[in-house]
Structure 1
Amino acid sequence: MLNIKQLLLLGIIAVCGGVAFYLLHTPIPFLLGSMIAVLLFQVLRAEPHVVPRTTTMFAQSIIGLNIGMAFSPGIYREIGHLILPLAGYLLTILLLGLLAGYLLYKMSGLDPLTALFCCAPGGASEMIGLADEFKVDAQIVAVYHSFRIVFIISFMSFFIPWLDMVRDGARQVFNVSQRSLAGGTNIEAVLGLLLISAICFTISKRVRIPASALFISLIVGILLNTFVLHMPKAPLLFNAVGQLVLGIAIGSRFNQVSLRKINRLKYTIAFSILLTVFSALVLGVAFSHITSENMIISLLSIVPGGASEMATIAFSLGYDVTMVTTIQFVRLFAVFIVGPKVILEVNSRLLLRHGKTKSQRV
């Protein structure tokens, strides 16, 4: 049951965490600060506050609208030369996901289907939903994907600015923490955009596609800014609100039970996530060299850290979000469509190989 007081308390904790990280001048302060503050609050409580799953969708609606207003539609004139590299990337990351799932299965004692869903390089919400649908251990899948997202957000939030500094020397990386929010607090505009985000969120609940809230609000943002608003980008306060809500959605997934599950499987989870991240970084570098795209944009596009999360990092650091969002969406849709069929086939072969009976297969 939705508890307004609990949500308000988590909101206050998220704001405190975001402001603290903002004052410390950390990268992506409102996302990192709110996520870590809420995560710590949840795991330190015997009875953590329950946050509706739709919180993630509402965060995606805000972020999608924000990104849509900064979109560069001209990218689609260049997309033709990316088709072959994209196909190679999708095939490789799917195979790497299967390899990581197989290793997790062999090392952890999990059943193969649960391990494969844990390591599938799709959207966290979609993989958790599919795991529940196929009657595997959805809680383990949720813990794994949530930990993957937290790790990748934390890692990329510091790694990308460092890499940018190393590559460009004295170049000052744009960061929302380096700019005063005073210039981006047009309250009327922020309230209006939040209302539009709420409408997109309401519509997205009736649409069954990966990251529906992000996708719908992104399209609305592009159309709205192209034909009506003509703003260079949304106010910074609107971006900060999106980061705060996303931080609440991610941080609230953890509690003492999930922490115990992570602790029980800590070495195998750490190994498979590190394998995934390292492989994705190598793929990102290769993609950049093959396509001549910017290295940092390629890395943010390729690493499976969540479409809204990676786009938020790109936006907050001043990079063009168009390529990042496009490739992340392609990955989400491809894995959502193809992934379950491939996972079930691999699961069947693994069960046959280890002498399981037909009744033990999904």
Structure 2
Amino acid sequence: MAPFCRFLPTLVLGLVGGGFAYWLQMPLPWLLGAMLATTVASLLGCRLRSPGHARKGVLVVIGVMLGSAFTPDMSGDLSLWGASLVIMLLATAVMMVFSVWFSRRIAHHSLDTALYAGVPGGVSAVTGMALDSNADLRVVGMTHAVRILILLAAIPPVLKWVGHVSLQPTGMSLNQWLWLPSLTDAAWLAVAGTLGVLLGQRLRLPNALLFGPALISAGLHLSGLTHAVLPPTLIAMAQIVIGISVGVRFTGTSLAEVGHTLTMATLQAVILLLIAILAAWGIHALTGVSLAAALLAYMPGGAPELSLVALSLGIDPAFVTSHHLLRITVLILVLPVLLKHFQLVRD
């Protein structure tokens, strides 16, 4: 209970921020409200606590939710995914090349820092790998944090601009907020989460707590064994914890001390977002894939955050999740090869 008590003030701040955003009828209120409230507090010098183990639990919940988006009647759409996955990987390669070049030539970071900070996704795995390198961990962490912050903040205006999804707020009655699944459905969801964690860890999946439960839940829903969904209160709480997880990454950060790093990370994130928009527009023109879904699938990083956005807005979460899983897997496999190559060149 002690860690939870230390985290409680941060959670309350996230709840207040999310509730205020919901009252203002903002799009994605619980996620963006909690994120903005904790980000501002962090930059103002407040010592906020990370969700810690709570975030791990939320990743499992999000994974189960994402798996429920895979339904038996979606098989006809899978034929379009192949081309989109190829374009996504090409766009990821372009993003990686640009990010490393930008970090080296414009931001003047070391090669190790440029490589780890430039990876467009997999922030948890990449940060862990960077621990055994000569990379500046603060720059790596801040670059990824700023990128995710900008991507999430940009989603409402960008989606409104492309005009392929409605962001009109939808109010819910108290009865809808208090709805709970049946005991049978709750049991299926618990089985998906438990077995998913075991599967993800056994297979050593990237972000195992997210993608393991997503795979088991997808299998259960695709087979028709269950159509269970999670209650809206749990979905809102998941958004709040994820929003807090982004905001607290700026704890201990002073604008005066790290102004250069924040500026460079912001410029890099904006250009990566533009690359994602161009790639999404291209695949939409070629195949007719939803522009909004392609955009969320191609955005560089933040798999839990972007998959949760897709689920919250009903923008083909199965499509978005599949793309992020492939991207992270490829990046984690390729990054050691790149590091070894550059190390040989440098030596």
Identify whether the pair has TM-score above 0.5, normalized to the shorter chain: yes
**Which of 295, 298, 301 is the matching residue for 2:294?**
298
For residue 7 of structure 1, what is the aligned residue in structure 2? Answer: 7
For residue 256 of structure 1, what is the aligned residue in structure 2? Answer: 252
Q: Provide the C-alpha distance between the structure 2 equivalents of 1:89 and 1:129, rounded to a whole number of angstroms.
A: 24
**Which of 208, 227, 230 is the matching residue for 1:230?**
227
- Deviation readout 1:151-173 (Å, 9 max, x if unpaired): 10111133214433xx57xxx54
Q: CA deviation at 1:150?
A: 0.8
Q: Give the 3 Å change call, closer, same or farther, for CA 143–287 of structure 1 in structure 2.
A: same
For residue 108 of structure 1, what is the aligned residue in structure 2? Answer: 107
Q: CA deviation at 1:25?
A: 0.5
Q: Provide the C-alpha distance between the structure 1 equivalents of 2:325 and 2:257, rounded to a whole number of angstroms.
A: 30
Q: Give the 3 Å change call, closer, same or farther, for CA 136–54 of structure 1 in structure 2.
A: farther
Q: Tell which deviates more after alignment, 264-273 or 340-349.
A: 340-349
State yes or no: 1:41 paired with 2:41: yes
- Is 2:13–2:34's contact at 8 Å kept on the other side of the alignment? yes
- Is 1:61–1:200's contact at 8 Å kept on the other side of the alignment? no
| SS of residue matched to 1:178 | coil
Q: Give the 3 Å change call, closer, same or farther, for CA 149–347 of structure 1 in structure 2.
A: farther
State yes or no: 1:179 paired with 2:172: yes
Identical columns (%): 23
- Deviation readout 1:120-157 (Å, 9 max, x if unpaired): 11211111111113342222111110111011011113
- Is 1:85–1:287's contact at 8 Å kept on the other side of the alignment? yes
What is the TM-score of this pair, normalised by structure 2?
0.86
State yes or no: 1:26 paired with 2:26: yes
Q: Provide the C-alpha distance between the structure 1 equivalents of 2:79 and 2:181, rounded to a whole number of angstroms.
A: 40
Q: Provide the C-alpha distance between the structure 2 equivalents of 1:181 and 1:198, rounded to a whole number of angstroms.
A: 27
Q: Which amino acid aligns with 1:129?
A: G
Q: Give the 3 Å change call, closer, same or farther, for CA 204–237 of structure 1 in structure 2.
A: farther
- Is 1:181–1:236's contact at 8 Å kept on the other side of the alignment? no
Q: In the TM superposition, what are the counterparts of 1:308-347 in structure 2 within 5 Å? A: 308-346=304-342
Q: CA deviation at 1:286?
A: 0.8
Q: Provide the C-alpha distance between the structure 2 equivalents of 1:248 and 1:197, rounded to a whole number of angstroms.
A: 25
Q: Tell which deviates more after alignment, 15-24 or 74-83.
A: 74-83
Equivalenced residue count is 343
Give the root-mean-square deviation of aligned CA atoms: 3.0
For residue 235 of structure 2, what is the aligned residue in structure 1? Answer: 239
Q: In the TM superposition, what are the counterparts of 1:93-242 in structure 2 within 5 Å? A: 93-164=92-163, 167=164, 172-173=166-167, 175=169, 177-180=170-173, 182-187=175-180, 192=186, 199=194, 203=198, 206=201, 208-225=204-221, 229-231=226-228, 233-242=229-238
Structure 1 runs not aligned, ≥5 long? 352-357
| SS of residue matched to 1:133 | coil
- Is 2:39–2:248's contact at 8 Å kept on the other side of the alignment? yes
Q: Provide the C-alpha distance between the structure 1 equivalents of 2:219 and 2:200, rounded to a whole number of angstroms.
A: 21
Q: Provide the C-alpha distance between the structure 2 equivalents of 1:339 and 1:182, rounded to a whole number of angstroms.
A: 49
What is the TM-score of this pair, normalised by structure 1?
0.83
**Which of 243, 265, 272 is the matching residue for 1:269?**
265
Q: Which amino acid aligns with 1:124?
A: V
Q: Tell which deviates more after alignment, 195-204 or 334-343.
A: 195-204
Q: Which amino acid aligns with 1:67?
A: L
Q: Tell which deviates more after alignment, 282-291 or 26-35.
A: 282-291
